[in-house]
């Protein structure tokens, strides 16, 4: 690990004022500290934002405002989250051990980096995300966990966050503060697909800090929602496929459906095409399967992950079928 300076920010304005070239914001440190220790990332200074005031409160419009320094465990356990946004609680509880949830912050979870084995193999593997122009060994290597949607010749890594899949399904908005002032970005637009620049993972500008997440008021499809994660072992494993789904019905037909997928792309994947295909239809197993197949028509599997297409189809179908049965 390279030496660096450390300072604890007193408030958001102080944190942003201290941000300069080579500065990184430190939340719970559950990902960043590992990256620094392995010399995969360097920082001249760390600005600790983990002790900034953090709260979860209702917005004026009936939604929820979540400060970026809120711990994952506190968010999962909050009564308003459990009652109004159950998919978020379930995603958080699926995401890590209790010890990590007690440390990890909302802002840090959004910014966590891929767990691609080749990304972490500093001495033995080529990785365009770690070293632009080096190549991508995952394309022809062990790629069971890698992307089937939105990948490029430069990178096939996936985003690891369970929480972010739920936030994508909920139409969450990320609030940012930086040298140029404050702005807001829909979570669906916050993470970048690799294209020719896989090292650019988000739309964050130099010196910008995630200050919070805002959830819109819950619709019927949000309060009746589910998160399902398929993985190689029952705990401490990242998703092969995950699904955040919500469903609303009237007169036996879909009035609103929300589907977000994890484990398939470099960002949480909102299945808009499948959603559009299902609205107005009876939520039969055949209709759901046809809709998710329409979403996956552009999937480009690798040598070791073609099974993800069928797994995504079955998992989405199971989630929505269960939700439809519960609403009947």
Question: How confident is the model at residue 328, as a pLDDT?
Answer: 64
C-alpha 66/C-alpha 166 separation (Å) is 14
pLDDT tens, 129-174?
999 999 999 999 999 999 999 999 999 999 999 999 999 999 999 9
Helix axes 86-95, 162-169, angle to 10 degrees: 160
Question: How confident is the model at residue 78, as a pLDDT?
Answer: 97
pLDDT tens, 205-249?
999 999 999 999 999 999 999 999 999 988 778 999 999 999 999
Unique residue bearing structure tokens 């095409």: 273
Question: How confident is the model at residue 34, as a pLDDT?
Answer: 84
| Edge-to-edge order in the sheet of strand 64-67 | 56-58, 64-67, 209-215, 173-178, 181-186
Decide: residue 32, CB within 10 A, 0-12 exposed, 13-18 middle, 19+ buried. Answer: buried
Question: How confident is the model at residue 41, as a pLDDT?
Answer: 81
In angstroms, the first-to-last Cα distance of the chain is 57
- 54: Cβ contacts below 8 Å, ≥ 6 apart: 67, 68, 69, 70, 71, 74, 105
Its CATH class, for the domain covering 220-327, is: alpha beta
Residue 175 dihedral angles phi and psi, to the nearest 5°: -100, 130
Question: How confident is the model at residue 51, as a pLDDT?
Answer: 87
Domain ranges of the chain: 220-327
Q: Torsion angle, CA of 263/231/165/212, rounded to 10 degrees? A: -110
C-alpha 79/C-alpha 75 separation (Å) is 9
C-beta of residue 176 within 8 angstroms of C-beta of residue 183: yes
Full DSSP string of 140-152: TS--TTS-SSS--
Question: How confident is the model at residue 20, as a pLDDT?
Answer: 79
Alpha-carbon torsion 233, 234, 239, 241, what sign?
positive
**What is each CA distance from 193 to 30, 197, 254, in whole angstroms?**
24, 9, 30
C-alpha 77/C-alpha 86 separation (Å) is 10
Question: How confident is the model at residue 1, as a pLDDT?
Answer: 67
Hey, how many other C-beta atoms are within 10 angstroms of the C-beta on 301? 18
Scanning 170-284, the segments in alpha helix (DSSP H) are 187-190, 220-223, 272-278
The pLDDT profile of the chain, 328 residues, written as one tens digit per residue, is 678 888 899 999 999 998 878 888 989 888 888 888 887 888 888 899 988 888 999 998 899 999 999 999 999 999 999 999 999 999 999 988 889 999 999 999 999 999 999 999 999 999 999 999 999 999 999 999 999 999 999 999 999 999 999 999 999 999 999 999 999 999 999 999 999 999 999 999 999 999 999 999 999 999 999 999 999 988 778 999 999 999 999 999 999 999 999 999 999 999 999 999 999 999 999 999 999 999 999 999 999 999 999 999 999 999 999 999 987 6
The kind and range of the H/E element at 136 are none
Tokens found for residue 28: 């719970």
The kind and range of the H/E element at 33 are helix 32-37
C-alpha 142/C-alpha 234 separation (Å) is 21
Question: How confident is the model at residue 40, as a pLDDT?
Answer: 81
Unique residue bearing structure tokens 């329409």: 294
Question: How confident is the model at residue 21, as a pLDDT?
Answer: 80
Buried b (16+ CB within 10 A) or exposed e, 306-323: eebbebbbebbbbbbbeb
**Distance of alpha carbon 256 from its chain centroid, rounded?**
22
- 301: Cβ contacts below 8 Å, ≥ 6 apart: 148, 308, 309
Tokens found for residue 76: 């999962």
Residue 37 dihedral angles phi and psi, to the nearest 5°: -65, -35
């Amino acid at each position: 690990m390279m030496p660096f300076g450390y300072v604890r920010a007193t408030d958001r304005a102080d944190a942003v004022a201290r941000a300069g070239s080579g500065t990184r914001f430190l939340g719970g440190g559950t990902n960043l500290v590992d990256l620094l220790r392995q010399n995969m990332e360097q920082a001249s200074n760390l600005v600790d934002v983990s002790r900034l005031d953090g709260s979860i409160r209702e917005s004026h419009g009936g939604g929820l405002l979540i400060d970026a320094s809120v711990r994952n465990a506190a968010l999962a356990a909050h009564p308003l989250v459990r009652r109004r946004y159950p998919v978020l609680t379930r995603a958080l509880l699926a995401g890590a051990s209790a010890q990590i949830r007690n440390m990890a912050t909302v802002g840090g979870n959004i910014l966590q980096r891929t767990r691609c084995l080749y990304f972490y193999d500093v001495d033995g593997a080529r990785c365009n995300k770690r070293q632009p122009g080096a190549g991508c060994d995952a394309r022809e290597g062990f790629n069971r966990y890698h992307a089937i949607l939105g990948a490029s010749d430069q990178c096939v890594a996936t985003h690891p966050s369970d929480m972010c899949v739920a936030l994508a399904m909920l139409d969450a908005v990320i609030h940012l503060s930086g040298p140029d002032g404050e702005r807001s970005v829909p979570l669906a637009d916050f993470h970048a697909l690799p294209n020719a620049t896989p090292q650019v993972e988000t739309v964050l500008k130099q010196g910008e800090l995630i200050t919070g997440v805002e959830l819109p008021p819950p619709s019927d499809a949000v309060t009746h929602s589910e998160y399902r994660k398929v993985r190689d072992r029952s705990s401490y494993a990242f998703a092969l496929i995950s699904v955040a789904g919500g469903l609303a019905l009237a007169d036996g037909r879909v009035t609103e459906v929300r589907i977000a997928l994890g484990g398939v792309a470099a960002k949480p994947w909102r299945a808009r095409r499948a959603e559009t295909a299902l609205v107005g239809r009876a939520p039969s197993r055949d209709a759901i399967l046809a809709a998710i197949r329409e979403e996956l028509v552009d999937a480009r599997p690798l040598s070791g992950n073609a099974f993800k297409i069928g797994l995504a189809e079955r998992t989405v179908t199971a989630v929505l079928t269960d939700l439809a049965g519960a609403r009947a």
